[in-house]
Structure 1
Amino acid sequence: MSSPVRVAVAGQHVDGVRRRLGDLGDAVHLLPLTAGSAASDVRAADAALAWDIGDAELHMLLDHAPGLRWLHSPSAGVDKLPLAELRRHNIALTNAAGVFAVPISEWVMGTLLAIAKKTRALYDAQRDDRWHGDLALEELTGKTLLLLGSGGIGREIARRAAPFGMRIWASGRTGRAVEGTERVVSGDGWRTLLPDADFVVMSLPLTDSTRGTIGSQELRSFKQGAWLVNVGRGATTEEQAVLEAVREGRLGGAAIDAWTEEPLPPDHPAWTMANVIVSPHVSGSSPLNNERTLTLFVDNLRRFVNGEDLRNRVDLALGY
């Protein structure tokens, strides 16, 4: 019988992983990892779950586990991981793409509805004991939604937006078809679509090629009164340029869940802007996320043990 695969897991997640191993139990040996772990505790690791593992523990793994061949990230975005080092050591990286797609897409649809139905104005009127019976509401039906990012999150947004009768366009690296969309473009094709979009929703990872995707130049092409929604990474926009466009009335508003600086400082101008929805990077929050994370990890662990292709493998050169 071959030796079991040794997997480093943060101490608080060991039981959760073990309960889901099933018939993998004899083929896997879990190595609990804590802040007090020594290099000798992880030296034998073949794989690791980088969930609630601090930078010190992660670098200890990379420096002292010469047999480490696979690292799984519990996040869809991997821009905070040492990708160059993983590439240098030939360590496979997988991410949590898809785990957060459902709650994020629901957050986006809730936000689009709140914008169209002017929920904030209704709340303000209620707070002021004011009957705002002349408030002009809008419909999502017939509105054009441009998705910048057609991965798992973008696809779930399209799936939920289609029944509302929205016209949906999407942009992705490959330009592959997306269910529910009328049009999909690749490369810079999205730029020609900006003037006709009522809502632009960004779910881009942060890489060298996506940094500053929406800046002053792009904002000048937006349709007057359009809304920008960002559920990807803050630095994929030039944040101050976005806020300036809202302040000047060129944008109808912005709903931002991903900020360049988090937590958002108390003196940040966005807090007091009427047409900016400030969300503290919680669009992916769900009580089902832990189960989804563990299910994905254990499925990949089974694949790793059996020598099969891993799901959600990250291209370390591209960063996603």
Structure 2
Amino acid sequence: MTSARAPLTRDDLAPLARAALGRTPAAVHRLRGGSKKGVYRLVLDDGTTAIAYVWSPGEDYWGSPDADIRDSFSHASGIGLFLAAHHRLTELGVRVPRLLLADEDAVHLPAPAAVVEDIGGASLERLLREEPEAARVPLERLAGVLGVLRQCTAAGHGKALLVAEGGTALGGSCAQAVADRAVRDIADAAERDPRVRAAREALTERVRDLGGAVGPRGHTSLVHGELGPDHVLVTPDGDPALIDVEGLMYFDAEWEHVFLQLRFGPVYDVLRAPGLDPDRMALYRLATHLNLVAGPLRLLDGDFPERDAMRGIAEFNLRRALGLLRDAS
């Protein structure tokens, strides 16, 4: 299946660009990889560039599901989440692309949008793959950023916007919220893959056992929520800049570190933090693999264009989840 969605054009984005940059772009390019929002590079006639984010149903391959902000795992997309996360990270001194314009009321497009600085450097993912020596400094600095986030705490869990507004998340503790979502992910994936269907009862029991082993904790920490090396840009000075920050939330630090371990692989040791709870790590590791099966399989129900990549993600994580189940038996 191929996507019939047409990207926004230079003419579509011209009003937004003029409001943010004072000029009409000479060209626009939709950047690959986004599934929740459109990401466009605006190119001016003098070579100056900026990045436009567009939150519209036509750019959201998940179908723009209704999102209850009180659910820590609800759809992490929208200009409100972006602005709250951008503001909190900026307050903490964490590098993010500088905000040039926020169009919350959809004045310049038929959807909310923002324009931010184009960092212009490579992603940390590309450096790790192609220039590992050049990745060393930003990777070490990213460890420092993670330390800053971990020291920013709250009493309960929830999206950064919810906590900023004084709200309370649904779902009890972090571990309870993760276990409940993992059980839903198992049921979801079982509808789409016979191997999950066959292992559904055993996987569900394992999730419940791991959740029951997690002890109480009186605080949470700020986490990006999906911090892979593709979500870290490197500035010309070698600083890591975080992008795709809408999922920023207060949660167990172990939730972040399970994902970091998965995505950074052999260089994760540079980012490893002391004092992580092994019981939380065990639950969150299995739950993360299960979500990275269920999510991609749901996405493939629609017209997401990069289908082979999504199938690969689902297959890799299904093998990991079933491997963890075998190891526990």
**Shorter chain as normaliser: what TM range?**
under 0.3
Q: Relative contact order, CA 8 A, sep 6+: which one is greater?
A: 2
- More helix by proportion, 1 or 2? 2
User: When the two structures are superposed, what TM-score results if normalisation uses the length of structure 1?
Assistant: 0.28
Larger Rg: 1
